[in-house]
Structure formats: C-alpha cells, structure tokens
Amino acid sequence: MPNRDFFNRWMPVALLLPAFLLGFTFARLDDDFSLHNVKEAARVLGLPFSGPQLEQMMPHLRVHGQSTGALRSYGLENAVPPAMVFNPLPRGFEMPPKDGGSMWQIPDDVALPSNRDELAFYSIPQLASLLRQRLITSEELTLFFLDRLERYADTLECVVNLTHERALEQARHADQLFDAGKVLGPLQGIPYGAKDLFAVQGYPTTWGAMPFRDQQIDYTATVIRRLDEAGAVLVAKTTLGALAMGDIWYGGQTRNPWDLQQGSSGSSAGSGAAVAAGLLPFALGTETLGSIVSPSTRNGVTGLRPSFGLVSRDGAMALSWSMDKVGPMARSAEECAMVLDAIHGPDGLDQSLIHAGFAYRPGTDLSTLKVGYIASFFGDDHVGDDPDHQVLADLRAMGIIAGPVEWNFELPVNALRVILYAEAAAAFDELTISGRDSLLVNQGMNAWPNLFRAARFIPAVEYINAQRVRQQLIAQVHRLMSDYDVIVTPSFGGNQLLVTNLTGHPCLVAPSGFDQASRPVSISFIGNLFEEEKLVALAQAWQDYSMHNKQRPEFFDPSLNNNGK
C-alpha cells in the first residue's frame, strides 16, 4: 500500500497548486482561470514552458476542462473497466506447457476426532476424506464453522456478514451429490469465506467502507460462482480494510489471532484472521500491493497471489485495474492450490484474463527445480531475520541448492506507485467528488480519502510514462527469472513486493516461524508467470519439512482446553 516517502514527495505539489488548477483540470471554469495562475501551476509542476507558450495553450486548456466536465457529468460505476487492458507478458514470452489437469491426494483413513472442535484445524484433504466417507455431512460441517464464526467473529472483528441461508442450501446440495456417489472435487462440501469485495447476490457487498455499508449488487462474482460449481460452501463474507487498504473497516479493526491487541494487517484482514483462528478452512483474498502477502504474514497462514491474468476479477471491487489479483488463503500450499484450481481461467467477462492453465501434481521432483534467493535482502535488518536464514538452511538440508540472485533494476521503481494511486483515484472518482469520502473511518494523511485527492495532481502524461517504464521492468524481471524456477525472498525484503505486483509475477507466502514478540513471520516464493505449480511444489515440500504451518494461536486452539474449546 502507499508509503510515506512517496506521499511526502508529492504532497507539496498538491498543497501549492492554486485553486485554478482544479478549475481547468476538473472543469470548474471560473474567474480564477487566468494566464497568471497557469504560469504558477507550470512553475510548481516543473514544466519548462515560456510565457508565450502558456498563453498560446490557454484555449486548449479550457477545452480540456470542458471535456473533463462532460466525462464527470456522465458518471461511471466502479465496475466499468478502462479500454486499456494491462498485459504482463513480455515480448517473446512462451506459455509454459501444462500436462493434463491437477491431481489431488485425499486420504481414505481419516477418523473423526473425539473432540469435534479439533475439526477447526483439519486440512481440506482431511475434511474431504471425512465427507467422502460420510463420517460427517457437509451440513454438519457447515453448522460447525458457522457456530465457530458466531463465537469468535466479534473477538477478531473478522466477519461482515454470515451467509446462513445460502450456506445451508449449498451444504445440503453437496450432501445430495455425495449420497448419489458424485464427487465434484476436493472442495465439495467444504465451508469457506470470501473477502467482502466480491459481489454475492442476495447479500450486502460493503467493500469494508461506511459509504457502501448497505450496498446490494444483484450479481455474483465469477470466483464465487466457480466455487459454487466446485461444491464449496460460502459461509461468511470477511472483513477488509476500507476500500482494500489496511485492517480498519467501518465496524472496527480486525485483530491478529496471535495477539489480540494487534491488527491483522490488510487488506484481506478478515480472511487471514479467520483462517488462522480455525474459523474457516480457507478464504479468498485479493492483492494489489501486499493485501494477501501482508495479512498472511501477520496471521501466520499461507497465501497464494497468482499471476496477473490467471483468475477473474469479475464482480470484485476494482482498485487498480492493472494490478488487482485474486487468490486463496489457507493453511498450506497444496490447499491454496486446490482453491486456485477451482477458480482460475478465462470467463469471457474479465478482459484481462489470459489463456493459461494450472495443473498441479503432488510429488514433483524438486531436484529439477532451479532455486535462487535474493542475497541482499537476507542481509537486511528487519523482523524475521533469523527465520529467514533458517529457511535457506532448511532448503539446503532438503537437498535443494539455492544460489544467490542479484535483484537490482536501474529503473525508478518506487515512482511507479503513481500507477496504483492514479487508477485508485479514478476507480473512486464519484466518492471523492461527492464528498462521501468523509464517511470513511480512516481520515489520516496516508488514508484513501487524502491519497485519492492527492492523486488528482498526477499528470496523465506521467501516468502513461510510468506504464512505459513498467514495460521495461517487466522485460528485466523476465530475463532474471528465466534463469530460475523459484526465487526465495523475505516477504518484505527490498522492493520485491512492489516489483512483482507491477510485473504480475506469482508469489506464495508461507509462515516461517515467529519474531521476538512471538508473532508470525513469513517467507515468500516468487515464480515465473503462470508457473504456480512449481511454487506450490517447493513450498509444500518445505512446509512438510519445517511444519511451521501447523502452529495454532493459543487462544483459539481447542487442544489446549481453553477458550478455543
């Protein structure tokens, strides 16, 4: 999400620009629109135009203002995308071949625990086994997780709405299919949650923001419909930081299950917290610039941010059309892969989608993978330093050779944040202009209301030039990644989180231990475009070796005979 350094560079411009700039840029043409004011604006913006040149352009500035006014009076909903569609594929890119479909190993000998509350931390394969053996019904499992959500949702402030009626209807349908001997896949009958920026017909879609608290969208997002088709059971719409930033929403602040005095980070705040606390087996999140990676880290869960263009965003709130991505959050890499397998692929609606398959097979020969690590980031002084180095030690002990990678791009990477800010401001143009942005809970300097306003001073020419630099960044990262299958990095090391979100590369983030305050930390695995299978294979093997993903937050752990019981 936006950082303070960038904001401090641009805010002086926003503060110094006189009122007339709002006039000709946003069509408030009045008496303040004068050559003197245009000259002052050019000076503040650093434009090297002479007095005669500025005078000559005055008629065109007025026309631009009139055009802007016409566009604004027309009005646009958040769901309408721009005609320009971002494509992350570098020149000469060849789509990696996929060998058939995914295969899953569902055990056939899982028993019901004597303490039913232990089901809260059973994996998707374990739950699938119980359902297939008919040791438990989907309706019973759904009621179990609904009860757990009702018990702890207020403690974590992680749920916007429960979907009781829809969930029980879906669960009963899954049970009917099981009884008829029909199995759709590993997610059949499994309850889950979805970040409340996905439209679900019949339920509010609040985007975590007070101005949209009662918003009803008469439509269901593609990813929800695909999970319906896979037999999964939606039980909750989980919290997100308002308009997909942070963990503060209109109902409060979502909490970290490992430390209830701390926020759960965001923006996929509720999805991360609920999975970590055993309130959901898995949940859907989204990421633009860290919104899966950050809450997965904070809450100690596994998150998979797919390649840009692999999963449809149809029916999801738009923040940045060229950076938004949808992905799963669960307790292991393979469980994330099960969800990705169900939701990926073109839908004929999201025009940014690319025809790329996903075919995961357990038991991948890891010796065939070329693995590197970003050496300079492991040397940084940051939280999680010891766990980061332990990951490398683990990989070496597993026989996986991890060589150092130089991550250095001589491009103004940080300046490319203007892409996110400009697109976000456009996505919420009506909210800002109407003044309803004042209804958002967070009104700080680095909160969306202020950032949306400041972004209006980003020139269109500079936004387009930023996209051109982005194209160069895509080419450079592609050349670097072509030597590796997976690159390992501290999740917040250097600028890799910004870089890979700009280039659209996939990332799998997994818990790697705890910091000195006993809070979870994570490691990230970066892959080539549309090669998520390799990320999952390496991460799952490491998770089986390290077992970090098996840890439970004490307050919610039923095995400790405490409040989790």
For 277-302, write each residue's pLDDT tens digit: 999 999 999 999 999 999 999 999 99
Structure tokens at 428: 């919420």
Confidence of residue 99 (pLDDT cuts 50, 70, 90): confident
For residue 240, is it left (φ>0), alpha (ψ between -120 and 50) or beta?
A: beta
Confidence of residue 264 (pLDDT cuts 50, 70, 90): very high
Mean pLDDT score, 188-200: 98
Mind listing the pLDDT tens digit for each residue in 374-409?
999 997 555 556 899 999 999 999 999 889 999 999
Residue 304 dihedral angles phi and psi, to the nearest 5°: -125, 110
* Residue 471, pLDDT above cutoff 50: yes
Confidence of residue 72 (pLDDT cuts 50, 70, 90): confident
Mean model confidence pLDDT for the chain: 92
* Residue 14, pLDDT above cutoff 50: no
What is the CATH code for 116-346+364-411+469-560? 3.90.1300.10
Mean pLDDT score, 88-94: 95
* Residues belonging to the active site: 195, 267, 291
How far apart CA 107 and CA 534 sit, in angstroms, is 23
With 0-12 / 13-18 / 19 or more C-beta atoms within 10 angstroms meaning exposed / middle / buried, residue 40 is: middle
Contact yes or no for 322/289 (Cβ under 8 A): no
CA torsion 249-119-128-296 (nearest 10°) is 40
Residue 1 has a pLDDT of 45
How far apart CA 166 and CA 237 sit, in angstroms, is 12
* Per-residue DSSP letter, 120: G
Confidence of residue 457 (pLDDT cuts 50, 70, 90): confident
Answer whether 0.75 is exceeded by the pTM.
yes
Residue 41 has a pLDDT of 86
How far apart CA 374 and CA 84 sit, in angstroms, is 33
* Residue 489, pLDDT above cutoff 50: yes
DSSP H helices, 31-123, are 35-45, 51-74
Q: What is the CA radius of gyration of the chain?
A: 24
* Residue 447, pLDDT above cutoff 60: yes
* Amino acid sitting at position 141: L
How far apart CA 88 and CA 352 sit, in angstroms, is 10
Contact yes or no for 441/461 (Cβ under 8 A): no
* Residue 257, pLDDT above cutoff 70: yes
How far apart CA 235 and CA 148 sit, in angstroms, is 11
* Residue 30, pLDDT above cutoff 50: no
Mind listing the pLDDT tens digit for each residue in 501-555?
999 999 999 999 999 999 999 999 999 999 999 999 999 999 999 999 999 999 9
Residue 44 has a pLDDT of 85
C-alpha dihedral sign at 449, 451, 456, 461:
negative
Residue 420 has a pLDDT of 98
* Residue 181, pLDDT above cutoff 60: yes
Residue 383 has a pLDDT of 58
Residue 385 has a pLDDT of 62
Confidence of residue 68 (pLDDT cuts 50, 70, 90): confident
Domain range summary for the chain, segments of one domain joined by +: 116-346+364-411+469-560
User: In 402-553, at which residue ranges do the beta strands (DSSP E only) sit?
Assistant: 402-405, 486-490, 507-514, 520-527
